[in-house]
Amino acid sequence: SIDCGSSESYSDDYSIGWVGDDLYIQHGESVELQSSKPIYQPMATLRVFTDRKKNCYNIDSEKGSKVLVRAYFFYGNYDGKSSPPKFDLHFDGNHWITVETSADQLVSYEAIYVTKTDTISVCVAQTFPNMFPFISAIEVRDLDSKMYGYSDSNRALMLRRRVAYGTEVIVRSTDDFYDRIWVPAVKGDDFTVLTSDETFIEVSLDDSPPRALFQNAFATDNTSTSIQLGTNLPTTKVPVYVNIYYSEASVLDSTQKRSLQLLVDGKINSKPFIPVYGTAGEITLYNLTANSDTTFSLAASPDSTLPPLINALEVFTVSDELTDGTNSDDVEGLASLQDEFNVLKDWGGDPCLPSPYSWDWINCTSGSTPRVTALYLGSFGLSGFLPDFSSMTSLEIIDLHNNSLIGSIPEFLGTLPNLKQMNLAGNDLSGTIPSSISKNKKLKLTVTDNPNLCVSGKSCKTASVDTSGSGGSSSSGGRKKSKLPVILGTTIPIFVLVWVIGGVCAVLHHKRKSEAIAAGNV
């Protein structure tokens, strides 16, 4: 559970542990709501985003796991404008819904689906002028793989309604292991609340509804009155997925029988089913389209002596097929750039999807699995060496001008098969330009204002030659030059000169000695 806009960790009234969002996102502005009325703590802060096409939270998950994701939005007039905004909500590169916030009511959305990567992304995107997206909280729960088993693993279930009949309080984490939120249904005059005589209800259903749901139920007053199920479906027809939960509240005698059947638009849609005392039962509707005009009702079967009852209800719409996301090779290359340059790390969610909400500094192709065709990272504050993003083979444009890039131009840039333009001007690149780049006639290359870069027509600095020890330097032909002529040419004249000087000194010494002897004889 992530409290957006907060930096605190705490437990709420439901014993749910919350953490601040500073480990998930560094962009946007944190806002603390000011209100004279009590506010549920996770809704007391929010994070608002005033730039970028979309802003995303990335949450670690396990690929192929079934998850429940909830997003909360509480406006609370945080900006003093009394104008609740509208904006889009995305998950994992898929459009979720257009969020319509309320002036004073909490708005939340929930999706259940199977993840396709090891990261869950929840994003908000600005879709209307001067309406800045915000988010109050995000919750992610792992579900058992058997839950909601009649749904297509390539589609998501979007919650429209989840209610518990006969309860007076919200049922969630302390009773529901998977922390689904079951809201108490409003009792009408035609209903009677039944309380189960059994204190421990056996629940062995794959969807694992909490036992607390089966302690109470709604029933009509007579067998001729059916239970009309509120669905909160949209006005347009969409695929739906409906779970109805039931359990007999009392031990029936031999003269009593409670038998139910489900009707859709007045037509019987199921075989009769009989609630069992002390045991949870469930009926699921799927492969069906419906809208707000479609009626769903539980009625007593013709042979039933008791009226219909219901304990709980879940209503979902079924999404379009979920995207596999941007091409994995491009995702890998973009991840290399983000790992190297801190300024890029705060860009999350799917790079290209949903269209047109790609990252601001890339261009993408259309289609279900888009490719990245351009990097626009000029004047982005990049500093350091260029990492290897050779997997991005659909790149046509690379703009990296006016940064602080150092080192040589990587060889792999010359192997990108579709590259047409590359601007590396205004950096501190050095060395020579790879021939695969300089000789590419189809590539428009700009490398000005790189003072240490060796370009055509400019003398290139070469590395100093090591002449120490006995090793020799290599000539352009690859042959070693001998130092022997130099040594001989130097040592032979010196030897002759020393020999001549020595001879002269010996003659002079002999002459002086002879003169001294002669003088002594006198």
Least confident residue range of 77-81, 456-460, 489-493, 518-522: 518-522
Res 428: pLDDT: 97
Band (pLDDT 50/70/90 cuts) for residue 190 is confident
133: Cα within 13 Å, side-chain hemisphere: 24
From the number of C-beta atoms within 10 Å of its C-beta (0-12, 13-18, 19+), residue 58 rates as: middle
First to last CA, the chain: 125
- Using the structure block, give the residue that is written with the tokens 């750039």: 337
CB atoms near residue 100 (< 10 Å) = 11
The per-residue pLDDT for 329 is 98
- 468's tokens: 């120490």
**Of the given ranges (31-40, 43-52, 130-139), which has the lowest mean pLDDT?**
31-40
Q: Judge whether residue 463 has pLDDT over 80.
A: no
pLDDT confidence of residue 293: 98
pTM (2 d.p.): 0.85
Between CA 417 and CA 204 the distance in angstroms is: 57
As a whole number of angstroms, the distance between CA 32 and CA 22 comes to 14
Best CATH choice for the domain 154-322 from the list 2.60.40, 2.60.120, 1.10.3470, 3.40.50: 2.60.120
d(CA 323, CA 96): 12
Distance of alpha carbon 331 from its chain centroid, rounded? Answer: 11
Residue 500 pLDDT greater than 70, yes or no:
no
Residue 510 burial by Cβ neighbours in a 10 Å radius (0-12, 13-18, 19+): exposed
- The dihedral through the CA atoms of 96, 114, 155, 280 has a sign that is negative
Pairing verdict, β 444-446 and 421-423: parallel
1-143 and 328-454 in the same fold: no
Q: In the chain, where are the structural domains located?
A: 1-143, 154-322, 328-454
Strand partners, 70: 110, 139
pLDDT above 50: residue 304: yes
The answer, yes or no, to whether residue 372 has pLDDT greater than 60, is yes
| Mean predicted confidence (pLDDT) in 365-388 | 96
Does 94 have pLDDT greater than 90?
yes
Nearest partner of 188 among 158, 229, 157, judged by Cα: 229
Of 78, 33, 309, 71, residue with least CA distance to 192: 309
Query: Mean pLDDT over residues 384-394, rounded?
Result: 98
pLDDT in tens, 12-24: 989 999 999 999 9
**Cis omega before residue 354 (within 30°)?**
yes
Q: Per-residue pLDDT tens for 313-361?
A: 999 999 999 999 999 999 999 999 999 999 999 999 999 999 999 999 9
pLDDT band at 128 (very low <50, low <70, confident <90, very high): very high
Q: Which pair of structure tokens corresponds to residue 337?
A: 């750039």
Alpha carbon distance 218, 195 (integer Å): 9
**What does the block give as tokens for 252?**
């029936």
Check whether 485 has a pLDDT greater than 90.
Answer: no
Give the phi and the psi of residue 414 in degrees, each rounded to 5.
-80, -10
Spatial contact of 201 and 278, defined as CB atoms under 8 Å apart: yes
The predicted structure's pLDDT at residue 287: 96
Q: How confident is the model at residue 481 (pLDDT cuts 50, 70, 90)?
A: very low
Is 396 a residue whose pLDDT tops 60?
A: yes
Quick one: pLDDT band at residue 185, thresholds 50, 70, 90? very high
| Cα–Cα distance measured from residue 249 to residue 214, given in angstroms and rounded to the nearest whole number | 8
What beta strand segments (E) does 319-364 contain?
362-364
Q: Which pLDDT score is estimated for 473?
A: 33
Nearest to 290 by CA among 270, 271, 310, 318: 318
pLDDT of residue 459: 54
* Amino acid, single-letter form, for residue 253: D
Whether 189 shows a pLDDT value over 90: the answer reads no
Residue 499's pLDDT is what? 39
State yes or no: pLDDT of 521 exceeds 90. no
CATH number attached to the domain at 328-454:
3.80.10.10
Angle subtended at Cα 24 by Cα 18 and Cα 27, rounded to the nearest 5 degrees: 120
Bridge partners of 171, per DSSP, are: 182
Q: How confident is the model over 220-226, as a mean pLDDT?
A: 96
Name the DSSP letter for residue 202. B
Mean pLDDT, rounded, for 48-73? 97
By percentage, how much of the chain surpasses pLDDT 70? 87
pLDDT at 460: 63
Instruction: Please give the pLDDT value at position 35.
Output: 84
- In this predicted structure, what is the pLDDT of residue 48? 98
Q: Cα(297)–Cα(48) distance, rounded to whole angstroms?
A: 42
Q: How confident is the model over 482-499, as a mean pLDDT?
A: 39
Is residue 221 pLDDT above 50, yes or no? yes
Taking all residues of the chain, what is their mean pLDDT, rounded to a whole number? Answer: 89
1-143 CATH fold? Jelly Rolls (2.60.120)
Decide: residue 152, CB within 10 A, 0-12 exposed, 13-18 middle, 19+ buried.
Answer: middle
Q: Which residues contact 136 (CB under 8 A, 6 or more apart)?
A: 4, 5, 42, 43, 45, 46, 72, 73, 74, 106
pLDDT of residue 513: 39
User: Contact, 12 vs 179, CB < 8 A?
Assistant: no
Asked whether the beta carbons of 190 and 220 are under 8 A apart, the reply is yes
pLDDT at 506: 44
Lowest-confidence pick of 5-9, 327-331, 381-385, 494-498 = 494-498
pLDDT-wise least confident of 155-164, 474-483, 509-518: 474-483
Tell me if 89 sits within 8 A of 109, measured CB to CB.
yes
Q: What is the mean predicted confidence (pLDDT) over 262-289?
A: 97
